[in-house]
Amino acid sequence: MIARVTRDPAAFQDLVFPYLQRDPVLNSQILTNVADRVRGIMNDPEPPVFVSVHDDADEVVGAVICTALRGVQLQSLPTEFVPPVAEILVEAAPWAIAVIGPAESAWSFAELYGERTGRGFKEDGRARLHKLDVFVEQTADGAPRLAIEPDLQALTPMFGAYRRELGHADESAVADRKWLTQRIERGRLWVWENGGQIVTMVGHQAPVFGAVRVGPVYTPPESRGRGYASALTAEVTRRLRDAGDQVCLNTDLANPTSNKIYAAIGYRPVQDFVTYAFT
């Protein structure tokens, strides 16, 4: 195999997207992460590292990205290429905070990378990628609408609370507001409103090769248990499906409520992933 390393998202996109588009649902995470950086709507404190893996004929057979805020993403790398890529990232990204991928790949990477960098690691969550199968409408009191700029006053603290629940407490309200503003400007953020109050927010990525991923989904604790997240996720899902795209989303396997909600809408499991955090 041959591996190429770059910090240029546009060059990486040109190189690996023809390979990744063969399965735009399974590769949704890396496709959207790279595309958003090419568009300039993803801001990193440290330039990401992009690794493409090639066979002896120089055809792309795998792709990996490593970002300062989320770590190494192995979803689009065959397991047999994990050890050499781990060796590369020991040198190119010794600061990686975590690795996420299929169980065997993530464990193999964490062991080798941890040994070579002298760092420990621990399991830090399990996620499941789902794809929409047969859509089922959901209802709740209130109504959906696209988020608009005046909503930022309510949405900024809501998004901060969402981040903290995920354990991502290292970003500022200024960064949250910028993230929300960019998605509002692009029509990629929806809210559910009841009684004049925003009770749920749901975002989605831009479609890439006919696949689009829903998320984030967040309801403040005081508004939970009333079907708002189900109804808004279903509404966003329906609109994306009606636009002709395959619709997918990720769930936290430790949250049975959200997994039940998405199954009721018609989402079915595709692949599980494990995250290991480096210490």
Q: So what's the pLDDT on residue 170? A: 64
Query: Confidence band (pLDDT; 50, 70, 90) for 148?
Result: very high
Question: What's the average model confidence in pLDDT over 23-42?
Answer: 94
In this prediction, residues 219-237 reach a mean pLDDT of 98
Q: Where are the domains of the chain?
A: 2-119, 132-271
Rg of the chain over Cα atoms, rounded to whole angstroms, equals 19
The label of the residue with tokens 């960098």 reads 117
Looking at per-residue confidence, does 170 or 225 come out higher?
225
When pLDDT is averaged across residues 107-127 and rounded to a whole number, the result is 98
**What mean pLDDT, rounded, does the chain reach?**
96
- Band (pLDDT 50/70/90 cuts) for residue 244 is very high
The pLDDT, as a whole number, for residue 11 is 98
CATH C-level class of 2-119: alpha beta
Domains 2-119 and 132-271 share a fold: yes
Structure confidence at residue 167 (pLDDT): 77
Residue 42: pLDDT band (50, 70, 90) is confident
Average pLDDT over residues 70-75: 97
The C-alpha atoms of residue 95 and residue 103 are separated, in whole angstroms, by 22
- Predicted confidence band at 166 (pLDDT cuts at 50, 70, 90)? confident
Mean pLDDT of 209-225: 97
Three-state secondary structure string covering the chain: CEEEEECCHHHHHHHHHHHHCCCCCCCHHHHHHHHHHHHCCCCCCCCCEEEEEECCCCCEEEEEEEECCCEEECCCCCHHHHHHHHHHHHHHCCCCCEEEECHHHHHHHHHHHHHHHCCCEEEEEEEEEEEECCCCCCCCCCEEEECCHHHHHHHHHHHHHHHHHHCCCCCCHHHHHHHHHHHHHCCCEEEEEECCEEEEEEEECCCECCEEEEEEEECCHHHCCCCHHHHHHHHHHHHHHHCCCEEEEEEECCCHHHHHHHHHHCEEEEEEEEEEEEC
**The CATH number of the domain covering residues in 132-271:** 3.40.630.30
Asked whether residue 41 carries a pLDDT value surpassing 90, the answer given is no
With 70 as the cut, is the pLDDT of residue 279 above it?
Answer: yes
Q: In what order do the strands lie in the sheet with 71-73?
A: 2-6, 49-54, 60-67, 71-73, 98-101, 267-278, 121-132, 246-252, 211-218, 197-204, 189-194, 143-146
Contact 228, 199 (CB under 8 A): yes
pLDDT of 169 strictly over 80: no
Residues 231-252, mean pLDDT to the nearest whole number: 98
- Residue 43 — very low, low, confident or very high, per pLDDT cuts 50/70/90? confident
Residues 9-34 have a mean pLDDT of 97
